[in-house]
Amino acid sequence: MKMKIVNGFDLMKYAKDNHYILPAFNTTNLEMTYAIAKGLNQAGLPGYIQISSNNLRLSSPDTITYLAKDALKDSDVPIGLHLDHGKSYEHVKACVDAGFTSIMIDASHLPFEENIKEVKRAVEYCHFYGVPVEAELGALQGKEEDIVNEADSKTDPEMVADFVERTGCDLLAVSVGNVHGLDLTPKVDLPLLDEISKVSPVPLVMHGGSGIPFETIQKAREFNLLKVNYGSDLRKAFISTFGEAYEQNHNEVNVIGLSIQSIENVSRKAAELVTIINE
């Protein structure tokens, strides 16, 4: 059966029913979008193509939706299209209207009550169109592309149930020692994740997957972890394709050849990651 972009609620149910962790792989452009779809299909495992508000500066929600639909036209596995770190209600609305099937609204930098207000607003819009919403409670240190965050505020278990119930969010991204990017070393606090999982009415999400040991991710499955974000691993595979070619030949100009090779390199990494975390 050929798949189209899968609804986020259906993807979450499929993962729960089959005991999968869903990797959410960050894209920026055509090559990475095709590579993520190819990698997940090579592995025969479900996941998300996702893009952040920051990366949408290069294109648009409509452009990414078009690319994802084309990349998934022959897909045999369930794959959703997710907005990562949606920075405003306007971004959320634009992505839902374009056909994204899962949304994150990131208001974690705001005070608790304002975070709730922003998430609830996004939830009301998204749920009307049958789209699930991920929210974040706590803050991650690290560098994600050109965005640096020096804050380090772990998720407080005592705030979790109230936050989820009042916002109506469907997934909760937590801060438990995970970090963005590859410049800092994550120190994931599994006992804290366990504590959060016992009070959270919804499944949990871990950002910054690229730096986290696979055995930690596999252990976290016991604590209601449903989704793990991967960006840096795939971006490194993409960028190194061009960097290595340039180092070997400063007159290298074969853009199409290197672009096709980058798809192979990124898809191989995506297939490797989704397979390992689901062992």
Which residues are part of the catalytic machinery? 84
Q: What is the SS3 string spanning the chain?
A: CCECECCHHHHHHHHHHHCCCEEEEECCCHHHHHHHHHHHHHHCCCEEEEEECCHHHCCCHHHHHHHHHHHCCCECCCEEEEEEEECCHHHHHHHHHHCCCEEEECCCCCCHHHHHHHHHHHHHHHHHCCCCEEEEECECCEEECCEEECCCECCCHHHHHHHHHHHCCCEEEECCCCCECCCCCCCCCHHHHHHHHHHCCCCEEECCHHHCCHHHHHHHHHHCEEEEEECHHHHHHHHHHHHHHHHHCCCCCCHHHHHHHHHHHHHHHHHHHHHHHCC
Instruction: Tokens for 118, please give them.
Output: 């922003």
Strands 171-174 and 133-137, sheet pairing: parallel
Q: Report the binding-site residues for Zn(2+).
A: 85, 106, 136, 180, 207
Residue set of the binding site: 85, 106, 136, 180, 207
